[in-house]
Structure 1
């Protein structure tokens, strides 16, 4: 019997689609939704501005917001208040950490070193903080729980799961979720299936990347590419999640 609830619909749709890693497809959709959300009217809401004033966005999502080229006014207003908040916190800390110069009477004072390290840590933490990352990661964690739930409750989902491999970062997410949420009997069925789909992906990529390298030999110039032509980008997506930097120009034409 199929188990269909509102929270299972996106997961089922991802596993029914023609994609490499369904969790990458889910992440891309969720991430785009939150990019649109933060570029929409929410950017002017007081509760949202309190958060973005303090956190801003991580470098990756700052770049993606910029590429959207939408609501430039809202983005500018957010950056204006974020810069002010950042300056108000960091600049006084740096000034206060400056030591007095060593003299014969005062000698050396190394307290400033710990202060400077603390300020650097604070800057690193603020650079990494990002409400989009938090929301995307939270949603993906819930999707992983839905996958485990569907595997246990919906026999039809097992067939969908067996048709896809998962990139290694999302494989790790599934394994952690299985450890936390899955019964021993379900894990006994789940893990061999996951291992098989990913082993098949490893083998296919290993063969394709090898043929990609062999095509540089002049003796293989006129031989067909097969499925190796985009194997570099596919391998990058498999190892590191699906990212725009790993997209290849797809054409149905193979040499």
Structure 2
């Protein structure tokens, strides 16, 4: 089957890494775009169509089981299969030391970053099992590899994503399904644009900033290029891998 006949599902498709990746994948895949924000999600769909791509948009809260089942069902109804799933939707933490994190903030981060990734895997894996093939790429983070000051809950959720990724990779490898994770460092997106302000409000500027060895955050296109590689046949021998794209941050 050629990539042009295959189907990619992208969550968090309305902005940032998700939008840029959606446009890149649409050159080779039919795309199912998923986002909580219907306006930005529809904008991404129009951009896909303007460049000659084919796709649909489904509004969803990835932390709600019924919403996840709905976008999975819509993908199968529209195109019959799911070949590549970029399980990308996530939120960032308001920086604070562990004892100062509000319980509601903890619940929000776990719901989207961990439960949302789990639910996406749960229902997409069922489709891929029936197909006997498929590839899931979860968005983790450098914070899923090491801890980060004043971002303990965020780090915990991303460590959880890493754990889910490795376990599923072992569980489904014999069924023709691969599961990997991408671990970006700092990325210049709408989601992260208020990070500097949050540092100032929290009274802490993490030492990681001075350790950005390339001297800048990544552009979303630089992450999307790696996702496109992972979505290609060239990554066929990779499963359970954590692909760092961090400008040397974790060295």
TM range (shorter): under 0.3
| Structure number with bigger Rg | 1
**If the length of structure 2 is used for normalisation, what is the TM-score?**
0.25
Q: Name the structure where helix makes up a greater proportion of residues.
A: 1
**If the length of structure 1 is used for normalisation, what is the TM-score?**
0.25
